[in-house]
Amino acid sequence: MTEQVKVLFQENLGDDGEDEYQIETMWATTSGEGFRLDNIPFYAKGVSYADIVSAEWENDFLHFRKVLKRSGNKTIHILFSEQKDVKYTLKKLKEMGCISEISNIPELIAVNVPLESSYDNILDYLEDGVAKDRWGWQEACSGFEEDGETYSNHSFGTSSPSE
């Protein structure tokens, strides 16, 4: 049986040297030299479900270091204006080949877009929801990031989904 572990992702959000961190842990399965992510990230950017990552023990936690192998999956975060729209949207996204998870914030979902899904159709659906003021969304991982990648927000405002 493959061992499941928690990998900690920590992002410094502070400006001008302030220490303000966003922390998320994700389940992962040991895989060769690294760990295969078993969750869809809610807050961490630049990683997706099924990516293989490296992590090192530090202060009793496995801390994320880098992506070793990309799965090709994309990660999208959707922040809803009203919770009532979540259930129907999850169903629609599933019909388009996506899997989703609801966060501890009921209006926030993380969506995994598999490589074989029609991303253009999903983008059209997401932009339609923005136009109707149902949600804002951001692409948190394009599946092919390089160091220094920027992430696009679509009517997410200036705040992140964790705020």
C-alpha to C-alpha distances, 126 to 15, 61, 90, 112, 160, nearest whole angstrom? 31, 36, 12, 14, 17
* Structural tokens at position 95: 């019909």
Q: How many domains does the chain have?
A: 2
56 plus 98 within the same structural domain: no
Within the chain, where are the H helices? 86-95, 119-131
Residue 138 has pLDDT above 70, yes or no: yes
The pair of three-digit structure tokens given for residue 62, joined into one six-digit string: 């496995």
Give SS3 for 90: helix
- Side chain identity at residue 63, one-letter code: H
Domain assignment of residue 29, given as a range: 4-69
Instruction: For residues 31 and 100, state if they share a domain.
Output: no
Between CA 141 and CA 136 the distance in angstroms is: 16
Q: Is the pLDDT of residue 155 over 60?
A: no
User: Is residue 160 a part of any domain in this protein?
Assistant: no
Q: What is the pLDDT, as a whole number, of residue 84?
A: 95
d(CA 37, CA 30): 9
Q: 162 lies in a domain?
A: no
Q: Same structural domain for residues 9 and 63? A: yes
Q: How many CB atoms lie within 10 A of CB 97?
A: 15
Cα separation of the two ends of the chain: 38
| Same domain flag for 29 and 97 | no
Here the tokens at position 106 are 């009921």
- In the chain, the percentage of residues whose pLDDT exceeds 90 is 67
Q: Would the pLDDT of 14 be above 60?
A: yes
Residue 163 lies in a domain: no
Does 83 share its domain with 141?
yes
Same domain, 87 and 144: yes
pTM exceeds 0.85: no
- 49 and 84 both lie in a single domain: no
Residue 159 included in any domain: no
Which range among 5-9, 23-27, 80-84, 150-154 shows the weakest confidence by mean pLDDT?
A: 150-154
144/80 same-domain check:
yes
